[in-house]
Amino acid sequence: MKKVILSIFTMSLFIVSCTDDDDTISPSEPLGAYEDGIIVSAEGGPSSISFISEDLTTSENQIFYNVNNETTGVYLQSLGFEDEKAYIVVQDGTITVVNRYTFEKLATISTGLTLPRYIAFEDDKAYVSDWGDPIDATDDYIAVIDLNSNTVVSTIAVAEGPEQILEESDKLYVSHSGGYSTNNIVSVINTVDNSVETITVKDVPDEMAINEDGDLVVLCQGGNSWNAIGETTAAIVKIDLSDNSVISTLEFPLGDHPGLMSYEDGVAYYILNNGVYGLTDNATSLPTTSLFDIDASYAYGLSVDDDQLFVTDASFTENSTLLIYDIATGTETNTFSVGVGASKIYFN
């Protein structure tokens, strides 16, 4: 009963919050309540997804639960968007397929997944990095999902700890942060024949982007003192995609471990000790001064869009905060309450 009341309450809130938008006459039929805006996923627990309207006037937490009256599992790792659908990747071995505009649940994929991390798309297939049993260094794979049947149709064996996955011109680029251990490679998978090549980078590669020159930019976090490899340097590695060769390796001082990077319009933005730095495509060394500082207890997610920088200041004991900064001035323009352990920011 309480749940019913709660959902009625949430719905009524939603109706109220929508009334503002009704004043502006939309030229076309809206595709759903979450058509234009920011999606923030939170690991949990409990995991959840938040929506913030594009004009930053309204926000709603737990949108998947509000629509479907069920929760996403433990822990929500990432989201992927393809055509009209969003794919919610949860570490418990499930991917939930929803309509990206309404967040209505369409399907669940659970067979063939063990500990999925990130998803990328190519034609009518999705490719999901999966750690397998995290204690086992030799069972990691990329699951290949047929998007028409929503089933895992094959797997591609890869080295330990495949993390972020990015598709470019029929090729998949997978950063191997190493899972529970560490690794120092990027796998290149040819989706035509599923062949795998590897490029050695620095330790613990994680975030990736393709810059305006068409090169792959990889943020390597470096090893920490508690890792088996010990303390090693972090670096931003640039790779020429025509021959998979390393163009440059810009190393951080030993002890610095940048963990978040987002790319827009010729600049790779990264955060180090709450300083926001911008590395331009043509730079030959790392910037020595930050663009501005953010005010976060635990910066856990970063995205840049339209000259605005979005950071999640994550809490794992209560709701997290989404901080929005104007990059030009470095000022904080907005904050929103988002889910527990908020980690990823997407633009719908």
If one asks whether residue 253 binds other proteins (CB under 8 A), the answer comes out as no
Residue from 28, 226, 242, 282 binding other proteins (CB under 8 A): 226
Least Å distance, CB 136 to other proteins, is: 6
Q: Of the listed pieces 127-135, 158-166, 302-310, 325-333, which binds other proteins according to CB under 8 A?
A: 127-135
Query: In the complex with other proteins, which residue's Cβ is closer, 3 or 284?
Result: 3
From its phi and psi, is residue 269 left (phi > 0), alpha (psi between -120 and 50) or beta? beta
What's the rounded Cα separation, in Å, for the pair 89 and 136?
Answer: 21
What's the rounded Cα separation, in Å, for the pair 6 and 66?
Answer: 9
Residue from 41, 48, 182, 348 binding other proteins (CB under 8 A): 48
Residues in Cβ contact with 67 at an 8 Å cutoff, skipping those fewer than 6 apart: 102, 103, 104, 105
If one asks whether residue 73 binds other proteins (CB under 8 A), the answer comes out as yes
Pair of tokens at residue 157? 């064996």
Least Å distance, CB 224 to other proteins, is: 6
If one asks whether residue 298 binds other proteins (CB under 8 A), the answer comes out as yes
Pattern 16-45, other proteins, x by CB under 8 A: -----------------------------x
Q: Of the listed pieces 67-75, 166-174, 181-189, 240-248, which binds other proteins according to CB under 8 A?
A: 67-75
Closest-CA residue to 205 (of 164, 253, 158): 164
DSSP letter string, 154-211: EEEE-SS-EEEEEEETTEEEEEE--TTS---EEEEEETTTTEEEEEE-SSSEEEEEE-
What's the rounded Cα separation, in Å, for the pair 318 and 93?
Answer: 25
Q: Which residues contact other proteins (rule: CB under 8 A)?
A: 2-3, 6, 45-48, 61-62, 65, 70-74, 90, 92, 94, 114, 133-136, 221, 224, 226, 257, 259, 273, 298, 300, 314, 316-319, 339-340
